[in-house]
Amino acid sequence: MKNYDVIILGAGPAGLSAAIYSSRAALKTLVIEKETIGGQIISTDGIENYPGISEGETGQSLVNKMKAQAEKFGVEFLSQEVIDFDFKEKIKVLKTKEDQYSAKGVIIAIGSKHRRLGVKGEDEFVGAGVSYCATCDAAFFKDVEVFVVGGGDTALQESLFLAKFASKVTIVHRREEFRATKILQEKVKQNKKIDFMMNSKIVEIKGDGIVGSVVIEDIKTGQQKEYLPNNELNTFGVFVFTGYIPNTKMFEDKFELDPKGYFVAGEDMKLKDGVYVAGDCRAKKFRQVVTAVSDGAIAALE
């Protein structure tokens, strides 16, 4: 078993912030991340609302700086998946398929994953027309019409990025108005390549190997219409940005979660003695990079 002072689960902005603060306090710190370091932020093409960043900063470039800063203070990173844990005693134990790790303190910063539409054809065409990351896949849809599902900041921000590549971007939103910030709403309305279908929802995605058509329902009338592509590739892109689901399943019987599955913790981030939570897996009103970083710092300081 390998021993540390602090173990942090998750290497998104919250986890990286916690790592920087704990390591600067001369605590031997390990960050365990089963996927890509950076979390959801690495799919963000441009960041404008984080203090002190330079023009042209991307999610990936910001994460690179955070990781380098953490490494400068001696933080260790481990690319493994935690499959079990024991938080009953003063010394907490985390188990992966390869080894076991112990620490006096654990910070859970496991973030969230994309919420899916749950419609027929969605799972079948993931990677073949259906995507959850415009930054990753926009270039594959050059001169192709795409549909974006969602009405929050992420949906509109990603629509602006997609408009640089796609022939047309149609935002499909189930409500009368967007939830996104006013500045983003103005930007998409001013973009001539972006159109809107309000009070609407995608009910089915069809195709043969790749997305071939999309069925959209008018929520007010209940009428459905099948949309066919008009391009040489004979396909559409469908980008889904309908929110996130917290990655808390393995903890659901051990800690208090709210009805949506988020950890319930106060402003001290404490779940129990020696165990803290930070970032987007915590129940709170706002989920931004800056609030995740704040959570991580508080958890480490506590």
Per-residue pLDDT of 196-240, as tens digits, reads 999 999 999 999 999 999 999 999 999 999 999 887 778 899 999
Average pLDDT score over residue span 156-174 = 96
**Selection from 39-48, 112-121, 130-139 with the highest mean pLDDT:** 112-121
Average pLDDT score over residue span 168-172 = 97
Q: Roughly how many angstroms between the first and final C-alpha of the chain, as a whole number?
A: 25
281 is catalytic: no
Task: Look up residue 286 and give its DSSP letter.
Answer: -
- What is the pLDDT at residue 221? 96
- pLDDT-based confidence at residue 271 (cuts at 50, 70, 90): very high
Assigned CATH for 123-240: 3.50.50.60
Structure token digits, residue 141? 């849809």
The answer to whether 29 and 22 have CB atoms below 8 angstroms apart is yes
- What is the pLDDT at residue 286? 84
CB atoms within 10 A of CB 77: 17
- What is the pLDDT at residue 285? 85
Catalytic one of 5, 45, 133, 218: 133
- pLDDT-based confidence at residue 151 (cuts at 50, 70, 90): very high
The answer to whether 236 and 144 have CB atoms below 8 angstroms apart is yes
- What is the pLDDT at residue 114? 87
Is the pLDDT score of 46 beyond 90? no
| Share of residues in the chain with pLDDT > 90 (%) | 84
Q: Report the alpha-carbon distance of residue 211 to residue 149 in Å, rounded.
A: 15
SS3 content of the chain, % helix, strand, coil (to 5): 25, 30, 45
The answer to whether 249 and 267 have CB atoms below 8 angstroms apart is no
In the chain, where are the structural domains located?
2-112+245-301, 123-240
153 is catalytic: no
51-106: pLDDT as tens digits: 988 888 888 999 999 999 999 999 999 999 999 999 999 999 999 999 999 999 99
169: phi then psi, degrees, rounded to nearest 5: -120, 125
Q: Report the alpha-carbon distance of residue 43 to residue 27 in Å, rounded.
A: 31
Q: Report the alpha-carbon distance of residue 228 to residue 225 in Å, rounded.
A: 10
To the question of pTM greater than 0.85 for the whole model, the response is: no
Widest CA span of the chain, in angstroms? Answer: 63
- What is the pLDDT at residue 244? 87
- What is the pLDDT at residue 282? 96
121 dihedral zone (left: phi>0; alpha: psi -120 to 50; beta) = left
What residues contact residue 93 under an 8 Å CB cut-off, 6+ apart?
1, 85, 86, 87, 100, 101, 102
- What is the pLDDT at residue 167? 95
Give 26: exposed, middle or buried? Use CB within 10 Å, 0-12, 13-18, 19+.
exposed
48: phi then psi, degrees, rounded to nearest 5: -120, -10
Is the pLDDT score of 133 beyond 90? no
Is the pLDDT score of 287 beyond 90? no
Query: In this structure, which topology does domain 2-112+245-301 adopt according to CATH?
Result: FAD/NAD(P)-binding domain (3.50.50)
Is the pLDDT score of 3 beyond 80? yes
6: phi then psi, degrees, rounded to nearest 5: -135, 135
Segment holding 96, helix H or strand E:
strand 92-96
The mean pLDDT of the chain is 94
Residue type, 68: A
Query: Which of 47-51, 123-127, 141-145, 180-184 shows the lowest per-residue confidence on average (mean pLDDT)?
Result: 47-51
* Higher pLDDT, residue 288 or 292: 292
Cα dihedral sign, 34-161-13-248: negative
Q: Report the alpha-carbon distance of residue 164 to residue 170 in Å, rounded.
A: 13
Query: Which of 156-160, 197-201, 285-289 shows the lowest per-residue confidence on average (mean pLDDT)?
Result: 285-289
What residues contact residue 186 under an 8 Å CB cut-off, 6+ apart?
none
Segment holding 190, helix H or strand E:
helix 182-190
Task: Look up residue 268 and give its DSSP letter.
Answer: T
Catalytic one of 137, 153, 280, 295: 137
The closest alpha carbon to 240, from 177, 158, 144, 141, belongs to 158
Catalytic one of 84, 86, 99, 136: 136
